Amino acid sequence: MPPPRSPGPQSASAVDSTKPVTRATPITTFLLLVLSLLPFQLQHHIRMLLSHLPSKHRLPTGTCTLVGAGPGDPGLLTMRAHGAIRNADIVISDLLVSPKILAMVRGKLLKLPRTTRNRSDDAQKDANEWMARYAHAGLVVCRLKGGDPFVFGRGGEEVLYLRSHGISESQITVVPGISSCIAAAESALIPVTHRGLADQFLVITGRGQGGRVPTIPRFTPRRTLVIMMGMNRMSMLVATLRDEAAYPPHTPVAVVEKATWREQRVVTGTVETIERIVADEGVANPAVVYVGNVVLALRGGVDETMENMVNPADEGIELGPSRSDEEESCEIPPVALASGIRARQIAI
């Protein structure tokens, strides 16, 4: 019988970040910070020289963990996110991470981009350089990002940057976070899908690369459109919805500002009115826009003047198929919104 195989090296992605790790001593951390100031090539030569020494004298291997900080409420952080913050030597945060979460970063170096929210490319450049520099020097880096790193968080770009600067895949971990595209809706009691109203949802960014307005598919009444970070381009987005995507002017719209924060606000309107309402209320990013009938699904009523949005010949709303007998027994009454009949009342 062959001898049992010894387990191979554990990849960084398999490490349980909820458990404490062996932290470098303050002196070692200080030396690694000094090392991070040197050019990458010189750091590499120093590591090569020290690699011939006994293991206890070698420099530690750095890691970088991209952590989703969720929409803002610290209670929505995952256990792995807590562990990654706790075990880090240095935390590099987005500007959109809530102050309550940043208050958890104690006893470690915290770095924030030098630029404002309107200069996201410069802020991203700062974060990329810091991640690579500190991880290359041997530090445990926590890259704290609002929402989820891979949902309009540029997390994929950061992984590619780290790889191109000598950080191997085994040194990189991604900790998922609760995306604001869902959390903001739930905090405002807006279901992005709802039987009889929406069987799909589409998430787009309101800040297209190079200032371009994102492509918005043509209107379909059973789709919920979710627009992230669109406040600075609200006028262009509304024009695109109305003129290019053929959204009816009375399509319901909601904007959730600072979702799950104490300062959360929700404003509602229609494609026709939301631009004026947002301007009058001074709504700003971070905010998520929801366009579709689900905006009114859990509300007490709808506008009597709501236009017919689907086929005027329709006699009512067709409910989707039941998924279980249990669901059928507690079925929510159909909501008359964008049907061929004029909506008068929501029965919830």
**Whole domain around residue 188: which residue ranges?**
181-329
- Say what angle helices 155-164 and 120-137 make with each other, to 10 degrees: 40
Residue 137 resides in a domain: yes
One domain for residues 201 and 172: no
Q: What is the pLDDT of residue 343?
A: 32
DSSP character for 297? T
Query: Taking the chain, what is the end-to-end CA distance rounded to the nearest angstrom?
Result: 67
89 and 186 co-located in one domain: no
- At residue 180, the pLDDT reads 95
The DSSP bridge pattern shows strands 223-228 and 200-205 to be: parallel
For residues 80 and 206, membership in a common domain is answered with no
Q: What does the pLDDT read at residue 212?
A: 77
Residue with tokens 């595209």, as numbered in its chain:
181
Domain boundary among 133, 154, 178: 178
The 10s digit of each residue's pLDDT in 92-146 is: 999 889 999 999 998 788 988 776 555 667 889 999 999 998 998 888 999 999 9
Per-residue pLDDT of the chain (348 residues; tens, 9 = 90+): 444 434 444 444 444 554 445 455 565 666 666 666 666 666 665 655 555 566 655 566 789 999 999 999 999 999 999 999 999 999 999 988 999 999 999 878 898 877 655 566 788 999 999 999 899 888 899 999 999 999 999 999 999 999 999 899 999 999 999 999 999 999 999 999 999 999 999 999 997 777 777 889 999 999 999 999 999 999 999 999 999 999 999 999 999 999 999 999 999 999 999 999 999 999 999 999 999 999 999 985 444 333 334 333 343 434 344 444 444 433 333 333 433 323 333 332
- pLDDT number for residue 13: 44
Assigned domain for 4 exists: no
Same domain, yes or no, for 70 and 164?
yes
Q: Would you state the torsion angle of the CA atoms of residues 209, 215, 216, 217, taken in this order, to the nearest 10 degrees?
A: -150
Residue 281's identity, in one-letter code, is E
Residue 130's CATH number: 3.40.1010.10
Name beta bridge partners: 141. 64, 90
Domain containing 245 — which CATH number?
A: 3.30.950.10
Report which of 259, 272, 296 is spatially closest to residue 178, judged by C-alpha positions: 259
What total of structural domains would you count in the chain?
2
pLDDT of residue 147: 96
Measured CA distances, 344 to 221, 297, 299, 302, 315 (Å): 18, 13, 12, 7, 14
Same domain for 173 and 185: no
Answer yes or no: is 342 within a domain.
no
In terms of domains, do 279 and 145 share one?
Answer: no
